[in-house]
């Protein structure tokens, strides 16, 4: 399991049109047989839809996980940073990552477990390399930057009259007791601080929730939505996928309140307006 073989053809068809060599072949993967079987099951389920637009395929794959249990901290497994593959339970971020990784893998013609784990690693880790805890894209705005560079997502927030987002992050370095890896390894904190400083220098945009209703008619299904917050030092508090129910856009997400993956009863606008901790949204396209 430590030496992962990736098909040469997969490497040559990345969405940004560049060859991304798989040079790191010595890292730990944590999964159960049920996870590999689920990947094969999804492959068969969506084989005919592989020619759909990516946004349509993302929505369909996301909906196929409705009812899957919610579980917090799904990536905190063991003392060594590992590529955790878990399609049996999600937190809000791993749900989005899993759906995006499956969509991208299938659209690129990759249908093997190795193909999927390569794409997931590229999405979850900075420049696709696992090099300890700090190589994981913990802050979602950092996740957006890295995956925008690689071509997996495109920030469409400014299309919706997004305004500059004051994004000064320091939550992890100031709440180390909430992160077992940082609490147990104080040497990692300095690295996190450096990452936070770099993120805070970047310019991001968001649509304040009070303005989202003005753009509601332009929202589409199959987009990734990140919810900004006014919690000091934190950038994004929740993530999900836009889906269409009738004429309105709703939120498909791994919900801690519902304890599983659900489609929100409220529209996306109603959902964000009803949450005091959410200040607005960042909208990401994948087509």
| Residue carrying structure tokens 């997931």 | 120
Taking a C-beta distance cutoff of 8 angstroms, is the pair 66, 259 a contact? no
Whether residue 73 is contained in a domain is answered as: yes
Same domain, residue pair 117 and 172: no
Domain match, 34 and 123 both: yes
Instruction: Tell me what pLDDT residue 80 has.
Output: 87
Residue 1 lies in a domain: no
Q: Tokens for 3, please give them.
A: 């030496």
Helix, coil or strand: residue 21? coil
Mean pLDDT of 216-231: 95
Domain boundary among 87, 115, 150: 150
User: Residue 11 — φ and ψ, nearest 5°?
Assistant: -65, -30
Question: Among residues 117, 150, 183, which one ends one of the domains?
Answer: 150
Count of structural domains, the chain:
2
Distances (CA, A) of 26 to 8, 70, 74, 82: 18, 30, 22, 10
- Indicate the pLDDT class of residue 148, thresholds 50, 70 and 90: very high
Task: Tell me the three state secondary structure of residue 263.
Answer: strand
Under the phi-then-psi rule, with left for phi > 0, alpha for psi from -120 to 50, and beta for the rest, what region is 54? alpha
Which backbone phi and psi does 262 adopt, to 5 degrees?
Answer: -145, 165
Return the pLDDT at 25.
62
Same domain? For 124 and 87 the reply is yes
Give 111's contacts (C-beta < 8 A, 6+ positions apart): 43, 105
Q: What is the mean pLDDT of the chain?
A: 90
Per-residue pLDDT of 71-118, as tens digits, reads 999 999 888 899 999 999 999 999 999 999 999 999 988 888 999 999
Return the residue matching tokens 């637009």.
53
**In 3-state terms, what secondary structure has residue 72?**
coil
- Ranking 15-29, 115-129, 240-254 by mean pLDDT, the lowest is 15-29
Q: Which domain holds residue 246?
A: 154-285
Distance (Å, rounded) from C-alpha 254 to C-alpha 98? Answer: 12
Alpha carbon of residue 13 to chain centroid: 21
CATH for 251: 2.30.260.10
Is the model's pLDDT at 252 over the cut of 70? yes
Distance CA 256, CA 241 (A): 15
Number of C-beta neighbours around residue 26 at 10 A: 8
- CB neighbour burial string for 196-208, b if at least 16 within 10 angstroms, e if fewer: beebbeeebbbbe
* Residues 152, 157, 158: CA angle, nearest 5 degrees: 120
What's the rounded mean pLDDT across residues 21-30?
68
Share of the chain above pLDDT 90, in %: 77
CATH number, position 142: 1.10.3670.10
Taking residues 151-174, report their average pLDDT: 95
Least confident segment among 106-110, 114-118, 129-133, 192-196 = 106-110
**Would you state the structure tokens that stand for residue 121, as one six-digit string?**
């690693």
- Tell me, yes or no, whether 2 lies in a domain: no
Same domain, 129 and 168: no
Structure-token pair, residue 48: 């005919």
């Amino acid at each position: 399991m430590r030496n992962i073989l990736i098909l040469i053809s997969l490497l040559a068809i990345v969405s940004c049109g560049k060859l991304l060599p798989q040079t790191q072949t010595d890292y730990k993967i944590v999964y159960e047989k049920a996870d590999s079987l689920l990947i094969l099951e999804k492959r068969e389920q969506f084989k005919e839809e592989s020619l759909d637009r990516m946004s349509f395929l993302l929505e369909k794959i996301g909906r196929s996980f409705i009812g899957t249990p919610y579980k917090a901290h799904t990536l905190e497994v063991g003392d060594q940073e590992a590529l955790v593959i878990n399609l049996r339970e999600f937190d809000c971020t791993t749900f989005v990552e899993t759906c995006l990784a499956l969509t991208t893998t299938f659209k690129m013609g990759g249908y093997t477990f190795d193909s999927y784990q390569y794409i997931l690693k590229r999405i979850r880790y900075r420049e696709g390399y696992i090099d300890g805890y700090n190589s994981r894209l913990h802050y979602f705005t950092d996740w957006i930057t890295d995956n925008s560079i690689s071509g997996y997502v495109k920030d469409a927030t400014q299309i919706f009259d997004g305004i500059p987002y004051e994004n000064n992050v320091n939550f992890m370095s100031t709440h180390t007791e909430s992160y077992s890896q940082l609490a147990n390894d104080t040497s990692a904190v300095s690295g996190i601080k450096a990452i936070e400083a770099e993120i805070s220098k970047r310019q991001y945009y968001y649509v304040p929730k009070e303005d989202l209703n003005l753009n509601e008619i332009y929202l589409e299904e199959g987009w990734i939505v990140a919810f900004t917050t006014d919690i000091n030092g934190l950038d994004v508090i929740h993530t999900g996928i836009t889906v269409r129910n009738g004429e309105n856009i709703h939120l498909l997400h791994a919900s801690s309140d519902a304890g599983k993956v659900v489609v929100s009863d409220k529209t996306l606008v109603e959902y964000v307006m009803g949450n005091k901790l959410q200040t607005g949204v960042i909208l990401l396209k994948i087509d």
